[in-house]
């Protein structure tokens, strides 16, 4: 009985860790996409000023 509980707890921890890792990775990708989109208009504005 206790072996099954320990095994279940380990499996639950692995699943929670995997979900946390996936969410963290996707939020990092979203952050990089939004910062790159914000940086591009600034570059375009600089080009217009130079012309």
**The whole model's pTM is what?**
0.54
More confident residue, 30 or 7: 7
pLDDT of residue 37: 67
Report the SS3 class of residue 51: coil
Tokens at residue 41, please?
């208009």
- State the Cα–Cα distance between residues 18 and 24, nearest whole angstrom: 10
Tell me the average pLDDT across 16-40: 80
pLDDT attached to residue 16: 96
pLDDT the model gives residue 41 = 55
DSSP summary character for residue 7 = H
């Amino acid at each position: 009985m206790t072996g099954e509980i320990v095994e279940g707890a380990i499996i639950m921890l692995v699943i929670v860790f995997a979900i946390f890792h996936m969410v963290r990775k996707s939020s990092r990708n979203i952050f990089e996409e939004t910062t790159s989109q914000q940086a591009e208009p600034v570059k375009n504005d600089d080009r217009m000023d130079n012309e």
